[in-house]
Structure formats: structure tokens, C-alpha cells
Amino acid sequence: MKRSLGAKTLAVPAPVWVVGTYDAEGKANGMTAAWGGICCSKPPCVCVSLREATYSYGAILERKAFTVNVPSAGQISIADYFGIASGRDIDKFAVTGLTSAKAEHVDAPLIHEFPLNLECALIHTLKIGLHTLFVGEILDVKADESILNVNGRPSIEKLNPPVFATGEGAYFDIGQSLGAAFSIGKELEV
Amino acid sequence: MKRSLGAKTLAVPAPVWVVGTYDAEGKANGMTAAWGGICCSKPPCVCVSLREATYSYGAILERKAFTVNVPSAGQISIADYFGIASGRDIDKFAVTGLTSAKAEHVDAPLIHEFPLNLECALIHTLKIGLHTLFVGEILDVKADESILNVNGRPSIEKLNPPVFATGEGAYFDIGQSLGAAFSIGKELEV
């Protein structure tokens, strides 16, 4: 039996990504965003949606760049903190002890301690409502050696990134493998 | 030690959503998409990115509507099949035995057996490259009673939706709770 829940942002899973930017004075900032996803394969692009009221909003527009930094489950308290505090008032890197490094290809900071980092050049801005969607072309991906699988790609098992559960307002980690994509469904082919 | 992996769509987690549409003849179709996410809180919106070559692409533009249907982990083979076959050639509902029902608020089909369904009206179309991003305003969410938590919201633990792992090209389910959002990071506040 289905129940109607109304017009709400209750899709799952949502990511827990810390968006890295430099402000006008060149101070590194990070802001946690769960409204985002991959949005194009060629060019490879990711989108994140931010409220205009956030400090990161203006920084993305000014530098035409941002990074997406993916934490491990063990870093979830830090990731949550990056979504609570504002870079307008506080140096979140100083508070958390994290270190930033300028990205190689764009004018935005990478969070060194987070195992997976995407360097993104802003290529589209779409104001939707309370949130504005920023499309960033992924110019490079940096990954810690410790999370790479045998094919040299980031392993979700090794990284174990948090997932945002919109219904609970809580974070969860990654569970068991369910099988290979574009493969396990072939058993249904007629 | 970080390694540069190049310009690739290696962000995680990504969702496993089956996008529901009606074609020109009114035949229900579904197509699995991992390039998507929530993109605005007010109005509540979700985005999905599709290649122009897909059968669903034209259907979304024609009806200005789509649904997002979220499977449970136990339905992953069916969800994978919806990403392999094309609705141009095949009635995927007939093959899988799933049933569709017209959404209440938009001209698109809900997948009855999937526990969570979003009814979306197309409000923006953004051609990025190989993929075009469709922004849908969520007009209603339908959820199976069995996945609701005590607050009447969809529980990610009960739904246990698959996650797409971009590095492995595989699906995983949801693991353990890591704590409450906008809460566990407060311990770091100065």
C-alpha cells in the first residue's frame, strides 16, 4: 500500500560532498552539500546545488571553480561540521585541523585528508529556486593510493563514503556488493 | 599519497533511479539512471541526466514529465535490466512483470513494485554535452507503508536502495548508521 507524502525532497541515496572554494581574500573554505550528482559523461561533469545565502555561492561565481571532496565514513563528524559552520565567520580548516592545497587545474582548494577529490571548472549556472545548480566540468580526479582497486580506480568499499538519508536526516555508510552493473540484469533478457 | 586519475566521472555515491515515462503511443517505459540527484529544496526538485540517444529523452520532452522510481536492493537485477534494454524495442514492464500506474499529478508512469516514487514535472532542460540534464519539480512522493519510519518518512534502512559505485561499475547496498546530520559535527564547534 502506497502513501502520498507530498512534495518533498525525499529521494535517496544522496551524497555527502564537501565543496571547496577560495573566497575573495584567498581563504580556503569548504561546505557540505547533499544536493548534487554526476550530470554528464562527456565532458565529465558533476553538479552541486547551493543556496545563494551561503558563503560558497559567491566564491564559486567569482573563481569559476570548485572542488568536490569526498570523505570516508570515519570523517563524518568533520564533514557534518563543514555543513554547520559558515566560512564567512570561521576558518573551518583551522578548526578541524584539515589542510588545503590548491588544485592543479582550477582556482579552488582540495581537502588533502579526504581520500577523493574532483577539480571542477564552472561551466553552467542554473538558478532553480532557493538553490542554484552549478555544473562543473571535472578536469581531474585525485585519489589516495589507499582507496584504489586493482584497476587503479577508486573503490567504494575502500573509500566507504557516507550517504545522506533524506528521510532520517542522518548519514549511513556503504554495505555489501549487489553485483556488476550492466551485467546482473542480463538474466532477464528475452 | 594522492594519484591523479584524469578527467573522469568517479564521484560517489551515485543513485540507482529508474526514470519512468510514457512514449508517444502511451506505452510505459523505464530507464535506469545513475547521473542524477536532488537539486533544489524550494521548489523541491530532482535532476536526472540522459543521453539524447535514449528512448526516454524524447518522451520526457514530449510529456514534460517523468517519475523517479527507487528500487530496494532486492530488486537490483530488475533495475539493472531497465538500464540495459531499450524501450524502443521492448516493453520492459511486460518482460519483468512489473506494473505501471499513471502518476497522480504528472503524465508519466509510476513503477508500482518499487517502494519509493517521485512525480516530477519538467521545469528546466540543460544540454551539457553527451548528456542533457532535466530538472523535475517534485509534485508528490509516494512511498510504500512498509518503508516508512515512525515519523512517516521513507527510511533508508527499510528501503535499502542500491548505490552505484562508479569506480567498480557495480552496485552496493546501504550499511550502518553514522549519526544524525547537522548534529554530530557540533562537537567540533569552537
pLDDT of residue A183: 97
The three cell numbers locating residue A136: 562543473
Q: Taking residues B144-171, report their average pLDDT.
A: 97
pLDDT of residue B190: 76
CA A53 to chain centre: 19
What's at B47, amino acid-wise? C
Output the pTM of the full model.
0.98
Interface test with A, best of B40, B75, B95, B125 (most A CBs within 10 A): B40
C-beta of residue A49 within 8 angstroms of C-beta of residue A134? yes
Rounded to whole angstroms, the Cα distance separating A36 from B116 reads 19
Q: What is the pLDDT of residues A98-130, one digit of tens each?
A: 999 999 999 999 999 999 999 999 999 999 999
**Is the pLDDT assigned to residue B50 strictly greater than 80?**
yes
Q: Do B156 and A145 make contact, defined as CB atoms within 8 angstroms?
A: no
Residue B76 sits at φ, ψ, to 5 deg, of -65, -35
Query: What ipTM, to 2 d.p.?
Result: 0.97
3-state secondary structure of A76: helix
Q: Which of A11, A155, A170 sits opposite B167 (nearest CB)?
A: A155
Q: Do A138 and B90 make contact, defined as CB atoms within 8 angstroms?
A: no
Q: Do B140 and A5 make contact, defined as CB atoms within 8 angstroms?
A: yes
For cell 517502494, the residue is: B115
**Is the pLDDT assigned to residue A190 strictly greater than 90?**
no
**Is the pLDDT assigned to residue B69 strictly greater than 90?**
yes
Q: Do B49 and A39 make contact, defined as CB atoms within 8 angstroms?
A: yes
C-beta of residue B1 within 8 angstroms of C-beta of residue A144? yes
- Report the length, in residues, of chain A: 190
Q: Taking residues B122-145, report their average pLDDT.
A: 98
pLDDT of residue B16: 98
**Is the pLDDT assigned to residue B153 strictly greater than 80?**
yes
Rounded to whole angstroms, the Cα distance separating A20 from A100 reads 9
What is the CB neighbour count within 10 angstroms for residue A127?
11
